[in-house]
Amino acid sequence: MSNVITKPTLVVNCGSSSIKYALISEDNQHRITGMAENLGLDNARIVHKCLDGKKTEVDIPGANHKSALVKIMSLLGNQSPIAVGHRVVHGGREFSSAVEITPHVLSEIKRLKELAPLHNPANAIGIEAVQSIYPDLPQVGVFDTAFHQTMPPKAYRYAIPKEMYEKDFIRRYGFHGTSHAYLSHRASQITEQQGPHGWLIAHLGNGSSTTAVYEGKSLDTSMGLTPLEGLMMGTRCGDVDPSLHIHLKRTMGLSLEQIDEILNKKSGLLGVSGVSNDMRTVESIANDNSHPDQKNAELAVEMFCYRAGKYLASLSCALPHLTGIVFSGGIGENSATIRARIIEVMRHFSLDLDEQKNDSLYGGEEGSFHTADSKYELWVIPTDEEYQIAKETRAVLGL
pLDDT over 90 (residue 4): no
Q: Are strands 55-59 and 99-100 parallel, antiparallel or unpaired?
A: unpaired
Read off the pLDDT of residues 16-42 as tens digits, 9 standing for 90 and up. 889 999 999 999 999 999 999 999 999
Instruction: Give residue 118's pLDDT.
Output: 76
Q: What is the mean pLDDT of residues 264-289?
A: 97
Q: Using pLDDT thresholds of 50, 70 and 90, give the confidence band for residue 15.
A: confident
Nearest residue to 315 via CA among 276, 350, 278, 346: 346
Instruction: Give residue 195's pLDDT.
Output: 83
pLDDT over 80 (residue 305): yes
pLDDT over 60 (residue 207): yes
Nearest residue to 39 via CA among 135, 125, 120: 125
Q: What is the CATH number of domain 9-143?
A: 3.30.420.40
The Cα 205–Cα 191 span in angstroms is: 24
Range list for CATH 3.30.420.40 in the chain: 9-143, 194-385
Q: Are strands 324-328 and 367-368 parallel, antiparallel or unpaired?
A: unpaired
Read off the pLDDT of residues 46-97 as tens digits, 9 standing for 90 and up. 999 999 889 999 999 999 999 999 999 999 988 889 999 999 999 998 999 9
- How far apart, in Å, are the Cα atoms of 342 and each of 217, 349, 352, 370? 24, 12, 12, 14
pLDDT over 70 (residue 2): no
Known catalytic residues are: 144
Domain at 194-385, CATH homologous superfamily: ATPase, nucleotide binding domain (3.30.420.40)
Number of H helices, E strands in the chain: 15, 14
Instruction: Give residue 78's pLDDT.
Output: 85
| Residues 91, 387 contacting (CB under 8 angstroms) | no
Furthest-apart CA pair in the chain: how many Å?
65
Higher pLDDT, residue 287 or 5? 287
Q: Using pLDDT thresholds of 50, 70 and 90, give the confidence band for residue 295.
A: very high
- Specify the long-range contacts of residues 56-63, CB closer than 8 Å, at least 24 apart: 60/36, 63/36, 63/39
Q: Using pLDDT thresholds of 50, 70 and 90, give the confidence band for residue 1.
A: very low
Instruction: Give residue 279's pLDDT.
Output: 98
Read off the pLDDT of residues 340-397 as tens digits, 9 standing for 90 and up. 999 999 999 999 999 999 999 999 999 999 999 999 999 999 999 999 999 999 999 9
pLDDT over 60 (residue 270): yes
| Residues 126, 86 contacting (CB under 8 angstroms) | yes
pLDDT over 90 (residue 202): yes
The pair phi, psi for residue 248, each rounded to 5°, is -65, -35
- Computed over every residue of the chain, the mean pLDDT equals 95
Read off the pLDDT of residues 147-163 as tens digits, 9 standing for 90 and up. 999 999 999 999 999 99
Question: How much of the chain, in percent, has pLDDT values that exceed 90?
Answer: 90
The Cα 66–Cα 187 span in angstroms is: 38
